[in-house]
A = this chain, B = another copy of it.
Amino acid sequence: MNITANTHANTVAAMSETNRSNILQHLYHHGVSSRAQIAKALELTPAAITKITARLIEAGVIEETGDMEGMKNRRSIGLNLDVHRFHVIGVKFARSLVQIGVFDLAGAPLSLETLPTVHDDTIAETIADIHRRVERLIAADARIVAVGMAVPGPYLRKVGRIAVVSGMQGWRKVNFIEEFQRAFAVPVFIEHDARAGVLAHSLFDPDCPLEDDLAYYLIGEGVGLGVIEHGQLVNGAIGAATEIGHISIDVNGRPCDCGNRGCLERYCSASAIHAMLVEDGEIVRGAAELTHAEACARLFAACDAGDGRAVAMVREIGRYVGYGCVTIFNAYNPKRIIIGDIVAGGGRVLLDEVRRVAAERAIPEIVSSTAISLSGLDADATVAGAAAVAVTQFLERPSLFFDVT
């Protein structure tokens, strides 16, 4: 009997949270709305809306605004979720690159700091530095309600560990859940980097509002992919799905730390490009002294300046990025692929080559129905994505943040 009663109570609590969340999401996506508009959109009774919104107002999550134009020209009071009233922190982990940003709920970046370049033997130091910096940010800004973190894949989401980090195995020893889940005064949420990136575009990018089938193709120090399929993130059984960087484009190709051969990220990641530049020695002089990101930035600057060899190398990189797009087409058939992170700096030259390869190698029905573009967010999609992970939780689980029950 007790079990049945608890199940019933849990079900009712879950339904209330769903209703609260649906109201917050309606206000987030549609802006100021009257109670009647919300009741109609969500198919809830006016009484239920009145009750739930009263609690949300009392808890300080939403607020009433002045009169607004109502339905049938009656004036009515508007409700508002002020996206500037709450802030979230986003932390991006790459291999050598860690960034921390503060964002409002609409994804506008308010501050961004880049930590000193990480080496395999400074990972512990970097972790301690992140603790200090995030604590400092939270102490300085009472509006901060959550921290989102984005870590490279394959990220074993239940365990809290990254399974492979080519060239920087030290990261595998970090347990992100143990290290950060309860580390701060506000809740912390951890997500795979490219999945965070696709959430950022889904939430913050006016070009793909609430797109049902969207892919974020992260080409940075590693190569990753986040896919929203029919409105849901593709995770896989242990969180190791959508690892485009470790899908082989040549089963007899370059060996990879993951055990596979010919992994895409061995050909077009920033680390692979950096190695190509060091070997070349001419296009970017002294490349060995630079970070991966700096070396790529110099290559792209030379390409933009019209250096023929730089243009040829960016085209070659674009070809490999394009092979990845063809795989994404055949594996997930999204409506849109957004390319982001360091290698998106290749710009128009890169994108033209990616589109050329995709058009040549995919079936016409997919080519004509799939957009490929470069990320146009104000901040890098992964650090904004870490923030998007936090915003998503804020909208979906308000009772974690406020006493609204």
Contact = CB atoms under 8 A, between A and B. Distances in A.
A250 B176 CA distance: 36
A333 B164 contact: no
Nearest to A250: B250
Contact of A331 (B238, B241, B258): B241
A4 to B, nearest CB: 7
A306 interface: no
B237 A335 contact: yes
A131 interface: no
Interface residues of A, number: 56
A94 to B, nearest CB: 19
Contacts of A22: none
A156 B364 CA distance: 12
Interface string A204-224: 000000001100000000000
Contact of A361 (B163, B260, B332): B260
A252 B250 contact: yes
Given A237-B333, A250-B251, A259-B361, 17 more contacts: A154-B365, A212-B237, A229-B229, A229-B235, A234-B234, A237-B370, A238-B365, A241-B331, A242-B331, A246-B330, A248-B323, A248-B326, A248-B327, A251-B323, A259-B363, A261-B361, A331-B331
Question: Which are the 3 A-B pairs with shortest beta-carbon distances?
Answer: A236-B333, A241-B333, A240-B333
Interface of A: 4, 7-8, 11, 40, 43, 154, 156, 163-164, 212-213, 229-230, 232, 234-244, 246-252, 258-262, 323, 326-327, 329-335, 360-363, 365-366, 369-370
24 contacts: A4-B40, A156-B365, A163-B363, A213-B236, A229-B229, A229-B236, A229-B241, A238-B365, A240-B329, A240-B365, A241-B331, A241-B332, A241-B333, A247-B247, A248-B249, A248-B323, A249-B249, A250-B250, A250-B252, A251-B323, A258-B362, A259-B363, A260-B326, A260-B361
